[in-house]
Amino acid sequence: MFGAILGDMIGSPYEFDRGNKTKEFPLFNMYSTFTDDSVMTIAVAEALLNLNETEEDDAVRQAVVRSLQRWGRKYPDAGYGSSFFRWLFFSKNPHPYGSYGNGPAMRVSSVGWLFNTMEETRRHARLSAEVTHNHPEGIKGAEATASAIFLARTGASKEEIRRYVTKEFGYDLSRTCDEIRPFYHHVESCQETVPEAVIAFLEGNDFEDVIRTAVSLGGDCDTLTCIAAGIAEAYYGISDQLKEECRKRLPDDMRKVLDRFAEYVTSA
């Protein structure tokens, strides 16, 4: 989960096509801050940490809804999309709204770490998505991201991850970043964010290179880099120095959840 939050922070200054589509940039600058991606990542993680694996689907959904709304209302200016903003702040009895935006994929990284089987990983990814984004593409994006993280942390090769994501979710992972980069622009759908993020992970040579590759594509690159770096953490690991950079840029309440999650994953 450190990876997803770092990806959000590092990508955030270049969102809305504000970068130069290059891998050469300072890893952190004065504008490198967390956005809604990190807030919602923390929210999903906390909800699932407080549940048992045996919880019924409705209990999982309700816990995720409560956590998303509680954290969203604590950080109202984190940069939410308009439909999600209304869901967060004006829905007393919130219902999903048919979106295929990339929100479920950006917030799902903890799911890839918390469960011991692919079946449970995909189930919880689906449940975490469908409370808001119940369009098939929104659910698919969350499941694909969590599945890639699960495979990466359990020792799968990049080729095995590529084959699984292609077969199970139908994404075209045959393209290269050099082919994607010239035409890629700011778009917030799962179907035009998740495959590009997976390709950036597949092409990267280490954790930092994955981040630089993802940012170089442009577009909604805080979210794209959040997704790519979440997978990269599971595959490569992260240095203590980068973890500390992540922690010091978060407020105390978010840092406590991140540290609790890291302790749980380490001891599991």
The closest of 142, 149, 100 to 124, measured between CA atoms, is 142
**Domain 2-21+32-267 class in CATH:** mainly alpha
Confidence of residue 218 (pLDDT cuts 50, 70, 90): very high
Give me the pLDDT at residue 128, please: 98
- Which whole-number Å values give the CA distances from 134 to 100, 148, 232, in the listed order? 7, 20, 27
Q: Residue 253 above 80 pLDDT?
A: yes
- Which whole-number Å values give the CA distances from 149 to 16, 40, 113, 146, 233, in the listed order? 26, 17, 7, 5, 8
Give me the pLDDT at residue 56, please: 94
Give me the pLDDT at residue 210, please: 98
Confidence of residue 92 (pLDDT cuts 50, 70, 90): confident
Query: Residue 43 contacts by C-beta under 8 Å, 6 or more apart in sequence?
Result: 64, 67, 68, 70, 71, 72, 107
Domain boundaries, the chain: 2-21+32-267
Give me the pLDDT at residue 111, please: 98
The whole-angstrom separation of Cα 257 and Cα 160 is: 31
CB burial readout 120-131, b (16+ within 10 A) else e: ebbbbbbbbbbb
